[in-house]
A and B are shown apart, each in its own frame.
Chain A
Amino acid sequence: MSGLSDGAAARLTLSRDNLLPRIALAVALSLACAAALIALSGHNPLTAFAAMAAGALGSAHQLGVALNKTTPYLLAGSGVALCFRAGIINIGAEGQIAIGGLGAAATALLWPVEAALPAILLALAGGALAGAAWAALATAIHLFRQVHEVLVTLLLNFVAILLVQQALAGSLGEFGAGFLQSPLMPHPVWLPRAIPGLDAHPGFIVGAVLAAGLSWLLWRTRFGFSLRVAGASRPAAAYAGFSVGRITWGVMLLAGALAGLAGGIEVLGVQRRLIEGFSLGFGFKAVTVALLGALEPLAVIPAALFVGLLEAGSLSMQRQVGVPSSLVAVIEGLTMLFVLAATVRRRAG
């Protein structure tokens, strides 16, 4: 799962072992299983996949939808990848995204700013900060009380989602809406359609730039080196004088901020209000995407695109061919299992 840098050559490859062939095999296997399921349900797999591709790539509008769907997976997934590299199994993105959405929505509603750019930046900062704060809570419990990080992050996910519901049932909710949602965000914070010709907000570009930045951080900085060492072997990291606690704080806060940003962008760019369950499953799919990207932030970009395109295309597949769109979750789950099985861990430490 993790590997030490072998110098310059390693920077170009996914990790010490080039995992690309194995991951390609895992994706091919899961698509083959999906094809078998489609055939089992009495449809032609090729027709279904073609409808899916057309649904995702067929028009500028569809491609924009796909890029918007890709954004939260890309942002949260690259943060998760960084944590996994450091040997910290953070599965708290689900809650951090929800809290990030809450933070962005609360900022936008409570501190209205007239000018668009400062308003957007302020709200997104609120989201990122909220996500980082939620990750900080998990990190504090993990480090100070020696509780397994997976249990902490997993349990906090459910608290986070209920916290959002509580906020929407209380002061942040829209009175008389009939279900849990905030009022519409003020106009200045709406994310513009930024990519020429496409119906997409700038989230994908932001995510891709940040992923590139994380890749640089991972392979070119002292901090990146220390976290890779810690991921490969905790004793080695301690022997080299790296503080595992500081590394944990670093990657968790970064991942939390990225997940929070993902939640904020979803609220400002897609829903335009905070809605109960707006991010359901995003954080768990961020883990899928991180694994599919072999824990390399740059490779998380195509991995997130793969999932985003699948989801964007699945609805037209259901409409046109009659294959249920839940097939996408089957493909995601299978891909994850196959990738896990195909990228066998070396004995660490």
Chain B
Amino acid sequence: MDFLAAAIRIATPLLLAALGGILSERAGVFAVGLEGMMLAGAFSAAIATWASENFGAGIAAAMAGGALVGVMVAVVTVRFRADNMVTGLAANILVAGLTSFLLRAAGQGGRPPAIHLVPLAPWPIPLLSDIPLLGKLLFVHPPLTYLAIVGCVALTLLLGRTQLGLTLRATGENPEAVFASGGNPKRVRVLAVIACGAVAGLGGAVLSLQQVGTFTDGMTGGRGYLALASLIVGRWTPSGAAAACLVFGAADAFGLRLQTFGLPTSSYVLQMAPYVIALIVLASLGRATRLPAAIGQPLD
């Protein structure tokens, strides 16, 4: 049970970032910038909560910080038609430097300020949390974990059951058709990438507000790329991505276990699992991967 709880804990930030990534990629923009969006979210959340002593402000700031990175990526990829991947990479480098720089600028004499936040406490859901075994596992989580689950359901409905979702998917598959039917595919892409940033920013906030209680340089540590892998393995669906995040979380939790039992070598192989699984999924599906058809293609 502890093991599963650890898997859920590790999966939560990944899932939020992956949900954002699905928004962006289904609209036709590769989400390599997830790492930077998460890092910006983690940073803004920590700084805002520290300055205002209010978690609500921190969460709003996380969304704003991530969305800001989304704006940058959207402008360069959609307006200037630059390569999606390389732009995402550039945003990641920029955010890594900028958060580290601003953290030190916020402190005294070039040193980062001491930020110690009390991590968000679990909110047990009345009644449900009293169910033996399952109650503890599923219904005693900090708030952002519930948000990730709700977000997963909401995004599934949005993509499958709404006009907005249809337009979003069409923009990723066949932007000319969206244009022909009176839509504005460029605007859809810009908004999708900004929304992706806001949601991925929440994923970053999970790290700084809910799990660690502070911000450290590069604290996302590649989780944005892991989220990217999970949305590929989940084949661009929220539920698939959620399953992939849980598997990755379980692999990671298992690796941590192994380490405590004194088998350190295998943990690196286990950490490879998400990336290797993603590669195997991509390679085995080949052409049938169903990558959004117009992904990465600039619009005129």
Residues of A within 8 A of B228 (CB): 154
Q: How many residues of A contact B (CB 8 A)?
A: 53
Q: Interface of A with B (CB < 8 Å)?
A: 1, 37, 40-42, 89, 91, 141, 145-148, 150-152, 154-156, 158-159, 162-163, 165-166, 169-170, 281, 284-285, 287-288, 291, 318, 322-324, 326-334, 336-337, 340-342, 344-345, 347
| Given A141-B283, A337-B72, residue A41 in contact with residue B105 (CB < 8 A) | yes
**93-110 of chain B: CB within 8 A of chain A:** 93-98, 100-101, 104-105, 109-110
Residues of B within 8 A of A163 (CB): 268, 272
Contact A91 B85 (CB under 8 A): yes
Contact A155 B105 (CB under 8 A): no
Residues of A within 8 A of B269 (CB): 162, 166
A341 vs B296: C-alpha distance when bound (angstroms)? 15
The chain A residue with its CB closest to the CB of B36 is: A333
Of B32, B85, B97, B276, which is within 8 A of A327 by CB?
A: B97
Contact A341 B80 (CB under 8 A): yes
Residues of B within 8 A of A42 (CB): 105
* Extra pairs beyond A141-B282, A337-B94, A345-B82 (14, CB < 8 Å): A152-B279, A156-B279, A158-B272, A162-B272, A163-B272, A166-B268, A169-B264, A291-B86, A326-B101, A329-B93, A329-B96, A329-B98, A332-B93, A333-B90
Contact A344 B81 (CB under 8 A): yes
| Given A147-B282, A159-B276, A162-B268, residue A330 in contact with residue B82 (CB < 8 A) | no
Could you name 26 residue pairs across A and B whose Cβ atoms are closer than 8 Å?
A: A37-B101, A141-B283, A145-B282, A152-B282, A156-B279, A159-B276, A163-B268, A166-B265, A166-B269, A169-B264, A169-B265, A285-B93, A287-B86, A288-B93, A291-B86, A322-B109, A324-B105, A327-B97, A329-B100, A333-B92, A336-B86, A336-B94, A337-B72, A341-B79, A341-B82, A347-B300
A112 vs B134: C-alpha distance when bound (angstroms)? 59
Contact B283 A145 (CB under 8 A): yes
A42 vs B108: C-alpha distance when bound (angstroms)? 11
Of B94, B100, B291, which is within 8 A of A324 by CB?
A: B100
Residues of B within 8 A of A91 (CB): 85-86, 89
The chain B residue with its CB closest to the CB of A347 is: B300
Q: Does B174 contact A (CB under 8 A)?
A: no
Q: Ordered nearest first, which 7 A-B pairs have the shortest CB separation?
A: A333-B94, A329-B97, A326-B100, A336-B90, A41-B105, A340-B82, A330-B97
CB distance from B296 to the nearest CB of A (A): 8
Residues of B within 8 A of A156 (CB): 275, 279
Q: Does B232 contact A (CB under 8 A)?
A: yes
CB distance from B127 to the nearest CB of A (A): 42
Contact A170 B283 (CB under 8 A): no
The chain A residue with its CB closest to the CB of B94 is: A333
The chain B residue with its CB closest to the CB of A170 is: B265
Of A145, A154, A159, A327, which is within 8 A of B101 by CB?
A: A327
A336 vs B77: C-alpha distance when bound (angstroms)? 13
Contact B104 A340 (CB under 8 A): no
Residues of A within 8 A of B110 (CB): 318, 322-324
CB distance from A48 to the nearest CB of B (A): 12
Contact A340 B83 (CB under 8 A): yes
Residues of A within 8 A of B148 (CB): none
Q: Does B222 contact A (CB under 8 A)?
A: yes
CB distance from B204 to the nearest CB of A (A): 17
Q: Does B286 contact A (CB under 8 A)?
A: yes
Of B83, B86, B225, which is within 8 A of A158 by CB?
A: B225
Contact A155 B90 (CB under 8 A): no
Residues of B within 8 A of A285 (CB): 93
CB distance from A317 to the nearest CB of B (A): 11
A149 vs B79: C-alpha distance when bound (angstroms)? 24
Contact A151 B232 (CB under 8 A): yes
Contact B268 A165 (CB under 8 A): yes
Contact B75 A341 (CB under 8 A): yes
Q: Does B278 contact A (CB under 8 A)?
A: yes
A281 vs B229: C-alpha distance when bound (angstroms)? 19
CB distance from B272 to the nearest CB of A (A): 5
* B135-154 to A contact mask, C-beta < 8 Å, 1/0: 00000000000000000000
A170 vs B269: C-alpha distance when bound (angstroms)? 12
Q: Does B161 contact A (CB under 8 A)?
A: no
Contact B76 A141 (CB under 8 A): no
A147 vs B229: C-alpha distance when bound (angstroms)? 13
CB distance from B92 to the nearest CB of A (A): 8
**1-58 of chain B: CB within 8 A of chain A:** 30, 32
* B212-226 to A contact mask, C-beta < 8 Å, 1/0: 000001000010010
CB distance from B93 to the nearest CB of A (A): 4
A347 vs B298: C-alpha distance when bound (angstroms)? 9
A334 vs B89: C-alpha distance when bound (angstroms)? 11
| Given A159-B276, A166-B268, A345-B298, residue A146 in contact with residue B93 (CB < 8 A) | no
CB distance from B11 to the nearest CB of A (A): 18
A159 vs B85: C-alpha distance when bound (angstroms)? 19
Contact B104 A324 (CB under 8 A): yes
Contact A151 B272 (CB under 8 A): no
Of A155, A166, A337, which is within 8 A of B91 by CB?
A: A337
Q: Does B210 contact A (CB under 8 A)?
A: no
**114-172 of chain B: CB within 8 A of chain A:** none
